[in-house]
Structure 1
Amino acid sequence: MFESRLALASLSGEADAEWAKAGAEWAGAAFLGGVCLDEPTREAARVMVVDRDRSEFLPPDPIAFIDKQLGALESVDIRAGINVRSTTPEPVREAASVAAEHGAMLEINAHCRQAELCEAGCGETLLRNPSRLEALIGAAAEAGADVSVKVRAELPAVDLVFVAQRLERAGADAIHVDAMDSASVVREISDATSLFVIANNGVRDRETARAYLDYGADAVSVGRPSDDPAVLSGVEDAVSEWFSQEGEL
């Protein structure tokens, strides 16, 4: 999927091409976005901006915005991905087609927990209704993009391992796991699927990065400190060291 095995995780309203360029010295991938594609998700984002002063990507034409952002990274040594929110498959298919043209990944957001987005029918609510999530994955895969799904652990009544197996069958290539306080779920998903597992949550230093890799993650991602060169340098060193030691075994 990408080398080095450090990714920059999307940050709403902040994770654009310039942000990815700034981290390219250390990261092998960067997930831009999240971008709301259809009217229900865009309206939810507008409400969040007004009511809670959230920062969101709300371009007039989200598909054109994705094309421009991914195009800006074509000469940069980093694998781009675009994190998207949608309640329906067709906008995902369009976004995935653009991503495929740029050699980028399409990441479906089944992670957001903001009430407005959940009420619209996207984000973490998709984990409670995996058949809808499967339809989004299928649309992206049919468009030719490598498909990642961003998910959240510790949701009541959600068996994340079972969901991961369904996502793999639907055509997903990677799963980006916000492990919360359940790092062991990374091992469970790794053992139960062939998905490329990207572990997220609290990756700040050598110890946290190596812990996730020891649990079976194929890569780790950095969220909030993704604009901190000291954090990225330290995590990248730890990841490179871990895979180097694995190769010697």
Structure 2
Amino acid sequence: MVSVKSHVVLAAMAGVCDGKFCFEAAKAGAGMVVLGGINFDAETIKAGLEIKNRGRSEFYVELCDLENFLFREVKTAKRGGAPVAVNVRVATLEGLLRAGELVKNSGADALELNAHCRQHEITQLGGGQALLLNLDKLKEWIKSLKKVLDLPLIVKWRANVVDDVALAKNLDSLGVDAFHVDAMKPGYSEADLEVIRNISKKSKVFLIGNNSVTDPSTALRMIEAGARVVSVARYTLNDPRLVGRLAQEVEETLQRRMWKISNLNFG
């Protein structure tokens, strides 16, 4: 069981959300922090290096070093006092099962499967956002992972790639513990709150809403649409403590409005 500490959590950012960054966010008041994304098979590790070489932030960790890296970074992050999830990028079932074992052994509180990354080097392997386009494979992978994973499972995906409600229903039927939905709408600069609203109406799975949350008003609009909590990423890029400040402002606003707050547990 994961008990999220506040209504604002830190989303993963490749090459940024290491143990220290997550620790600072958690210590400041983030409800949960997501370490990563981390690549867990040879294919995505190679792709990550290619992404890094063209100037984007990435974690480059060899297979043989993953166990020690995860243990060290998760331990550091957990000192902040918030639950820690690990965002996992894979192109193979073997990599996903490896991730399940290593994430569990690291002491993390949850595993987040990345069906969100849209970098070409990852999607051309069938990983990241490309998983949404192969539902049969995604379902088989989740079934296999659930057999061996003794941790809550989050699936993070980008909205408006496939039918989000249908996807949510499928993932719900597989026992996924939480959805983390980037409510991106192509051509628009604001979050697609209708996606959040529709998913929350059709599924009772714990829903983390993401996209364009930068202040209490945008956070509250997403919560009002049906997200249990919201996540922020680039907003905190220069200062991980910003997530805590935002969380405090959101909690104070909810209390002033006498909002009926249900528990923030999943898993």
Fold match (TM-score > 0.5) = yes
* Partner deviation per Cα, 1:84-113 (whole Å, 9 max, x = no partner): 111222332232234334251100000011
Asked whether the equivalents of residues 88 and 111 of structure 2 are also in contact (C-alpha less than 8 Å), the reply is: yes
Q: Distance in 1 between matches of 2:17 and 2:168?
A: 26
Work out which of the residue numbers 77, 80, 85 in structure 1 matches 2:89: 85
Task: Say whether residues 1:40 and 2:46 are aligned partners.
Answer: no
Partner in structure 2 of residue 169 of structure 1: 173
Q: Distance in 1 between matches of 2:202 and 2:170?
A: 11
Relative to 1, partners in 2 of residues 1:134 and 1:240: Cα closer, same or farther, differing over 3 Å? farther
Amino acid at match of 1:26: G
Work out which of the residue numbers 105, 115, 130 in structure 2 matches 1:125: 130
Task: Say whether residues 1:55 and 2:57 are aligned partners.
Answer: yes
Deviation, 1:231, is 5.6
Asked whether the equivalents of residues 93 and 141 of structure 2 are also in contact (C-alpha less than 8 Å), the reply is: yes
> Normalized against structure 1, the TM-score is what?
0.91
Amino acid at match of 1:104: D
Higher relative contact order (CA 8 A, sep 6+): 2
Partner in structure 2 of residue 94 of structure 1: 98
Task: Say whether residues 1:3 and 2:5 are aligned partners.
Answer: yes
Q: Distance in 2 between matches of 1:236 and 1:148?
A: 24
Q: Distance in 1 between matches of 2:58 and 2:66?
A: 12
Deviation, 1:152, is 0.5
Q: Distance in 2 between matches of 1:192 and 1:217?
A: 13
What is the aligned-residue RMSD (CA, Å)?
Answer: 2.0
Partner in structure 1 of residue 188 of structure 2: none
Give the unaligned 5+ runs of structure 1: none
- My pick for the range that moved more, 232-241 or 35-44, is 232-241
Task: Say whether residues 1:241 and 2:253 are aligned partners.
Answer: yes
Percent sequence identity over aligned pairs: 33
Asked whether the equivalents of residues 41 and 117 of structure 1 are also in contact (C-alpha less than 8 Å), the reply is: yes
* Partner deviation per Cα, 1:58-79 (whole Å, 9 max, x = no partner): 1122233222221223433110
Q: Distance in 2 between matches of 1:240 and 1:84?
A: 33
* Partner deviation per Cα, 1:22-81 (whole Å, 9 max, x = no partner): 11122010111001111121121111122x212211112223322222122343311000
Partner in structure 2 of residue 112 of structure 1: 117
